[in-house]
Structure formats: structure tokens, C-alpha cells
Amino acid sequence: MSLAESRRFAVAPMMDWTDRDCRFFHRRLTRHALLFTEMVVAEAVIRGPRERLLAFSPEEHPLALQLGGADPLRLAEAARIGEGYGYDEINLNVGCPSDRVKSGTFGACLMRTPELVGECVAAMKEAVAIPVTVKCRIGVDDQDPEEALDRLADAVLAAGADGIWVHARKAWLKGLSPKENREVPPLDHARVHRLKERLPHAFIGINGGLHSLAEAEAQLAHADGVMLGRLAYHEPEILAEVDRRFFGAGEGTPDPAAVVEAMIPYVEARLAEGARLSNVVRHMLGLFHGRPGARAWRHTLSTAGNRPGAGVEVLRAALANVRDSLALAA
């Protein structure tokens, strides 16, 4: 499956959540969805602990590296480094409203300077051969989304961007926490649909507030791709349906217990590298959501899994418990 095809369904970039362990786990559930890193600041890629920030497992492909920044030359340099690491795509963050991002004048506030975002994209395109995409909001603060989103989209497409993902709500840069900024500004999916109608030849992906795969699928009548964030993270089992439903894959859906089994060698390898069990398995807490044994699964992983020196035996024991509960309920 090509990278372009995999954009039909993506798991959103989420800071602190979509780290390499999370992505490896998500990839056990869906082979075809496009996965994203957390946002990594361009300056950190250039001068920080690069290996820790950028290393990933080959199994994670197709994988986009999301960069934060507003300096075309620094972004170009970071994109080049990302390409060297083997990422399939570079994505520029024009949607994140966190304080740290605000002070660096990048993220969502770039909605106000579409020309600068265009320059950033042009510089990154010049630097790498892989696709460069943008993830943005429909506007910020008192901007008129009709105008703000069109201007941003036109600027980045003129600069050669290979696609735009839109989180279908504004960011309010004053007075809201990042979390509130994902909940309080009203959703406006129709605004993204209008963007797609105006730009039939550009890739336009839609994101924000989709609560089921059915809702996500319905969006594909109006957009080229759909991106899920919180739902995919909190209820990862839905990802097991994605290949069949969004990519027409014939094979059966992965069984969550088998996915846990398949994670064991990976978890062992990560522990051997010095990772803590709780950090690796925390992304799996939402498995078995709504099924018998789900509570005990979460409890075991987050208590026994948190003890110093905890190993894969905790994961095995938690899995055995869930299997017992599922068998009892069957």
C-alpha cells in the first residue's frame, strides 16, 4: 500500500502519548493506517538528544514525523535529519496551542502568518524528497475561519505541500489550556468539507471530535483522509477494525489477546534497553475496553507494572486474568 493510500486513516500526533512504544503497539492493530510521532521541536532535532527523539522500529512504517518550528532553515535542517532516519513523511505543526509552543511563536499561532508557513514548507520541500504535509486548525482567536483556513491552505499548497490535515475547530490562544483547546472551541467539520470542495485536487484530511469508526468513515464522503486522536488512544481495539473497514484488507481483525502476546518480545527488548515496563505498556491500558476483565487488566498493569524492576511476567499475568474473565463470560 502506498503512503498516499495510507492517509485514508491516520492516528493523530499526540504529545506524551504517540511515542515509539505506542506506535509499535498501534501497528500490531492496524498495518495500513498512517502513524504520527509526537511533535518534536526542530531545534531539539538539530541540537538535542537526537537518537532518543527520533529512533523508531522499522515495523512502525508508514510513519510521519511531526515537527514544530517557524524558522524555515531550521525546519529544513530538521526535516533533512528526519528523512535520514527513515521517516516516510514530514508534517509541520500549525495547530498546537500549548504555552511552550506559544512562547516560541509556532504551532497554532502560525495560522496568523500563512506566508511564513509557506516559506517553511518551501524550505522543507527543497530539503527532502519525502512528502511534506501540514496539520492546522480552522483559525485562531477572532480570525474568520472562512478566510484564515483558505489563506493558510493556499499558501502551503503554493509552496508545494503534499497535503493538509485540519483539526476542525479554532484554537483560542488566550485563556484556555491545551486540553480545553481540544474541547471548548466548537467543532466545525463543514468548514473542512468546504475546503475540500474548493480544492478538489489537494489532499485534505479531517480531524477532531470523531467518536466512532462509523463517524470517521462518514467523513470520507467529504475529505480524503480521516485522523483519530483520543478515541484511538483510549480505545485502541477500534484500530483492529481499520484495515478491513478503511483499506479493504481481506484478512480477519487482530485479536487483542494475540496482540498482547505479540507485544511480549518487543517489551522484553525495550526493558533490556533500560525502558521501564510501565512506560512501555501504559499505551495498552485501554485494550479490552468495555469487556469483562478490563478493569483488572488496567489495575494490574498500573500497579504491579509500576513497581521498580517489573518485567514481562506482569504483562503475562494480566493477560492470563483477562483471558479467564473472557472465557467465564463466553
Ligand X SMILES: Cc1cc2nc3c(=O)[nH]c(=O)nc-3n(C[C@H](O)[C@H](O)[C@H](O)COP(=O)(O)O)c2cc1C
- Among residues 22, 96, 120, 136, the one annotated as catalytic is 96
With binding defined as CB under 6 A, does residue 9 bind ligand X? no
Angle at 236 between CA 94 and CA 9, to 5 degrees: 50
With binding defined as CB under 6 A, does residue 67 bind ligand X? no
Asked whether 109 and 102 are in contact (CB, 8 A), the reply is yes
- Grid cell at residue 216: 470517521
With binding defined as CB under 6 A, does residue 96 bind ligand X? yes
x/- site string to ligand X, residues 118 to 157, per CB under 6 A? -----------------x----------------------
96 catalytic residue (yes or no): yes
Choice from 63, 134, 206, 228 touching ligand X (CB under 6 A): 228
Q: Which stretch binds ligand X (CB under 6 A): 55-63, 205-213, 276-284, 287-295?
A: 205-213
Q: How far is the CB of 124 from ligand X (least distance, A)?
A: 16
For residue 14, count other CB atoms closer than 10 A to its CB.
19
Nearer to ligand X, 66 or 300 (CB): 66
242 CB contacts (<8 Å, ≥6 apart)? 9, 29, 30, 32, 33, 213
Residue nearest ligand X (C-beta atom): 229
Identify which of 168, 208, 182, 19 has the alpha carbon closest to the alpha carbon of residue 98: 182
Q: Which stretch binds ligand X (CB under 6 A): 21-29, 201-209, 281-289, 308-316?
A: 201-209
With binding defined as CB under 6 A, does residue 173 bind ligand X? no
Handedness of CA 157, 155, 117, 203 (dihedral sign): negative
Choice from 8, 9, 10, 17 touching ligand X (CB under 6 A): 17
Q: How far is the CB of 160 from ligand X (least distance, A)?
A: 20
Identify which of 24, 78, 25, 74 has the alpha carbon closest to the alpha carbon of residue 54: 78
Q: Is 68 helix (H, G, I), strand (E, B) or coil?
A: strand
Q: Which stretch binds ligand X (CB under 6 A): 50-58, 90-98, 141-149, 317-325?
A: 90-98
Nearer to ligand X, 14 or 281 (CB): 14
Identify which of 235, 217, 251 has the alpha carbon closest to the alpha carbon of residue 289: 235
Residues in the chain: 330
Q: How far is the CB of 233 from ligand X (least distance, A)?
A: 7
Choice from 230, 276, 291, 299 touching ligand X (CB under 6 A): 230
With binding defined as CB under 6 A, does residue 270 bind ligand X? no
Choice from 26, 28, 170, 182 touching ligand X (CB under 6 A): 182
- Grid cell at residue 182: 481540544
Choice from 62, 229, 286, 305 touching ligand X (CB under 6 A): 229
Q: How far is the CB of 267 from ligand X (least distance, A)?
A: 22
Q: Is 64 helix (H, G, I), strand (E, B) or coil?
A: strand
Ranges within 29-58 binding ligand X (CB under 6 A): 38-39
Strands (E), 87-211: 89-94, 132-137, 164-167, 204-207
Q: What is the DSSP string of 262-300?
A: HHHHHHHHHHHTT--HHHHHGGGTTTTTTSTTHHHHHHH
Nearer to ligand X, 270 or 283 (CB): 283
187 CB contacts (<8 Å, ≥6 apart)? 168, 169, 208, 209
Q: Is 136 helix (H, G, I), strand (E, B) or coil?
A: strand
With binding defined as CB under 6 A, does residue 167 bind ligand X? yes
With binding defined as CB under 6 A, does residue 13 bind ligand X? yes
Distance CA 88, CA 184 (A): 33
Q: Which stretch binds ligand X (CB under 6 A): 13-21, 51-59, 78-86, 249-257?
A: 13-21
- Which residues are part of the catalytic machinery? 96
Q: Which residues of this chain interact with ligand X, rule CB under 6 A?
A: 12-17, 38-39, 66, 93, 95-96, 135, 167, 182, 207-210, 228-231
